[in-house]
Structure 1
């Protein structure tokens, strides 16, 4: 009988399947209208998608952040599509999207930190095992 994926894994797959098309849409906005911030948002989103799968620490928080990111990105896309001049937004809206870009980078830093913590812990555990093995060999 195949093993059922845990609820967190299902949530990850759901949010990833919702975010993946956003990357393509942001790239299209950039090529069609030269939309500012879209390249940075799409690159960061792609990096978050690849990073969230390997997180061990605070996985629930990271998934929740991605789910919120999903909602925000679709709202931003809707703003661009529904604007009076397609692909063009008023300066105040661009300022808000610029602040959002800063926030998404902070989210990326947080997610990377969750990965780094696991990597560092693994590194120290590996070093401890090597030291113990060397010490044990020395006692013989």
Structure 2
């Protein structure tokens, strides 16, 4: 059975050093939420990634996310897809030592539903199953 990690909004991941990579949809959503133009958002809140492949969020001086305010994400409702996806659609070895998400064994269908609710997307393996099912039905 798959493991779904229920986020507790502890903000530990918001305090890790590292880049939060942005997609165009993230920039558009965040700009509207912040009440600025996309170009204004880019100038105020982003920089070029180290690999020069995309824009990433700026950090505060101590390395935490620019949108972390105290113990809360100030853009929780529209946070970047990379943030939404962690730790269910991506993680790294040993992340459990830092992340306080609660692991739960769930049935595959429930896992897909929970991941879709948490991230806005189905897990990749569920997309493969759905694609195969629609191909065989045709």
Q: Which has the higher helix share?
A: 1
* Higher RCO (CA 8 Å, separation ≥ 6 residues): 2
Q: Which has the higher strand share?
A: 2
Both proteins in one fold, TM over 0.5? no
TM-score (norm 1): 0.27
TM-score (norm 2): 0.27
